[in-house]
Structure 1
Amino acid sequence: MLSGLLFLVLSVGALAQEAGPATGWTLLDQFDKPYTADADLRVMLIARDMAGSKLVKAALDGRPAGYLEARHAVFVADISRMPGAISSMFAVPAMRDYSYRVLLDREARVANRFDAQAAAVTWLQLEQGKVVATRRFDSADALRQALERDAQ
């Protein structure tokens, strides 16, 4: 009986985590500028590792500055597992050359709220701050097409 109750509590907690608000958090970008997610946010892209980040980079290659913002989208890079020295000396300075904003999740405060997988990009479709759909991309071309088609 106790194990059944524990299972129920954990199941409800897991559902609340995915279905809960996806807004209200603040992260710094690669220029140390804060971004706070609000109800206008429609798409959140999450990369849990370098492979996912490379997919986003390839998908956004050649796109103008402001491309994600025009689609009410943000890119969250979970860099919590990256050694601090590597992050501060190499990775973040390299990101400053990108034409898009990278929100740096240094402590996995945002990425851990959602079921984001390694070696892929997780696309969270939002409405009024709530997750209404989740998609996974392991192809830069497919991600680029989805951004063109579905993030308007």
Structure 2
Amino acid sequence: MKAAALMLLCLLSTAALALEPGDRLAPWTLLDQHDVPYTLSEQTRVLLVARDMDGAKLVNAALEGKPKGYLEQRQAIFLADVSRMPRVIATLFALPKMRDYSYRILLDRDARIAPRYPAGEGEVLWLQLKGGKLVEQKVFKEAGTLEQALAAELP
């Protein structure tokens, strides 16, 4: 009985966090891989969210070979939840590698922002925004389809 009540509570809390078209995303500020702050604004058109390393690898594969500023041209940003990565690994290996990427990665080091967005394991959540409000959301599980969607996303 307690297990059923706990499961119901978890389902209700997940439903309360679900985003619906028309919802305004609360602004937040995070540092990128170069420790430069970025604040979510009404000009952002696409928010890509990866909650794990496999999701981040999809974004990396989709952006491989793209010029610097590719995401910015599309008014898109990439948010990576790196909170589960051990700090020593992040500091010694992951962050130095991320600094070589041609695109900006907003790092959620404390799982403060990423849990607001329902991205699953091994996937990338695409939030289409207009004026800070959610228009639609998509999920990508393949780099090729993500790459095609980004190529089509010019303002």
Mapped pair 1:61 → 2:36? no
Shift of 1:151: 4.7
Equivalent in the alignment of 1:21 = 24
Q: For residues 30-69 of structure 1, what are the structure 2 equivalents within 5 Å?
A: 30-69=33-72
The one-letter code matched in structure 2 to 1:121 is: V
CA distance in 2, matches of 1:136, 1:127: 18
Counterpart pick for 2:74 among 53, 71, 75: 71
The one-letter code matched in structure 1 to 2:135 is: V
Q: Deviations over 1:51-77 (max 9, x none)?
A: 111110110011100000010000001
CA distance in 2, matches of 1:12, 1:56: 25
Are the counterparts in 1 of residues 25 and 133 from structure 2 also a CA contact under 8 Å? yes
Shift of 1:126: 0.7
Q: Which of 55-64 and 105-114 deviates more?
A: 105-114
Shift in alpha-carbon separation, 1:151–1:108, aligned structure 2, 3 A? farther
- The gaps in structure 2 that reach 5 residues or longer are none
- The gaps in structure 1 that reach 5 residues or longer are none
CA distance in 1, matches of 2:85, 2:60: 18
The one-letter code matched in structure 2 to 1:95 is: M
2:137 is paired with a residue whose SS is strand
Equivalent in the alignment of 1:137 = 140
CA distance in 2, matches of 1:52, 1:87: 17
Shift of 1:13: 6.7
Q: For residues 65-144 of structure 1, what are the structure 2 equivalents within 5 Å?
A: 65-144=68-147
TM-score scaled by structure 2? 0.86
Q: Deviations over 1:44-103 (max 9, x none)?
A: 001111111111011001110000001000000100111111111111111000000000
The one-letter code matched in structure 1 to 2:94 is: A
Are the counterparts in 2 of residues 119 and 138 from structure 1 also a CA contact under 8 Å? yes
Q: Percent identity?
A: 54
Are the counterparts in 2 of residues 27 and 34 from structure 1 also a CA contact under 8 Å? yes
CA distance in 1, matches of 2:71, 2:30: 16
1:18 is paired with a residue whose SS is coil
Q: Deviations over 1:7-56 (max 9, x none)?
A: 7xx479715x5244324100000000000010000100011111111110
Q: Which of 82-91 and 18-27 deviates more?
A: 18-27
The total of aligned residue pairs comes to 145
